[in-house]
Amino acid sequence: MKKLIPVVAVAMCVGLATSGCTIVETGEVGLRVNFDKTIEGTELVAGSFNQTVIGKVLTFPIKDVSVDVRDLNPLASDNSTMKDFDISVVYNIVPSAVSDLYINKSRSFHMVDNSGDIYLMHQYIYQTARNAVYKTARKYEALNMNDNRAQIEEEIQSSMSKTLADEKLNGVIISQVRVFSMVPSDAVKASADNLVRAKNEEKTKEVEVQIAKKEAERISALNANAGAISYMQAQAQMKIAEGIAEGKVHTVVIPYDFKGMVNVGGPK
């Protein structure tokens, strides 16, 4: 029995150490909250074991945090309202900036997920991205946005980075902006379809006019040739008649449409 006591004691210590310990995972930074609710300013690095028998440890994902900003309806430069505009923003938090951002910035800027992880500046990034979309979309016509997708992504990212710099939020870095959807309003799409249809009809009419013009030129050329042939035939008949009158013709070539008879006599 006495031998079992040390074993039980060791097991209890191990269990206590395991249950009273928080490991900061890769891609995260931790902050210790003391029993008196104060937060220590030193960041706990990934891979560290931290006792939580007294106090607790908050964890913050800081690498490649994604924010989806969907169902926006910005105004285009042609004053039409986009039916849908969806983007995704990826940002990172500088590890050494975690304590400052959490302690000194409004808690409304952050988001807590179901597991208890705190996503620093998540809500702030969402609002900043939303503002950047509305600002950037105003530079483009609704139907031209998809043709300028890459440029729009760059402008949104640049606008967001400028806002962060102006607010001296150097610990937040926008690493990527991706536009998933830019859909013009139904009225704009219908107008565009009608315009395309009208242009196609106009092109069809132009082709028909060109065909008719070529046909007219062909008929004109044929008529001109027919007149020349008739003239040549008349000239030939006149020469034959002159030859007969002068007694120089003994053999007569009768045209295919000859309708009269001519007496031919030789020289006396």
Domain boundaries in the chain? 18-60, 65-184
- Torsion sign across C-alpha atoms 101, 103, 109, 111: positive
The pLDDT score that the predictor gives to residue 70 is 96
Q: Looking at per-residue confidence, does 23 or 121 come out higher?
A: 121
The pLDDT score that the predictor gives to residue 14 is 44
Residues 6+ apart with CB under 8 A from 62: 27, 28, 29, 92, 93, 94, 95, 98, 120
The HSE-up count of residue 100 (CA atoms within 13 Å, CB side) is: 10
Mean pLDDT score across all residues of the chain:
83
The pLDDT score that the predictor gives to residue 246 is 73
Of 91-105, 118-132, 188-202, minimum mean pLDDT range: 188-202
The pLDDT score that the predictor gives to residue 103 is 93
CATH of 65-184, one of 3.40.630.30, 3.20.20.80, 3.30.479.30, 3.20.20.105: 3.30.479.30
| Mean pLDDT across 184-206 | 75
Residue 180: phi and psi, rounded to 5, are -95, -35
- Give the whole-angstrom CA distance, residue 173 versus residue 161: 7
Cα distance between the two ends of the chain? 170
pLDDT confidence band for 15 (50 / 70 / 90): very low
The pLDDT score that the predictor gives to residue 201 is 67
Q: Looking at per-residue confidence, does 201 or 72 come out higher?
A: 72
Output the CA angle 150-155-160, nearest 5 degrees: 130
pLDDT confidence band for 1 (50 / 70 / 90): very low
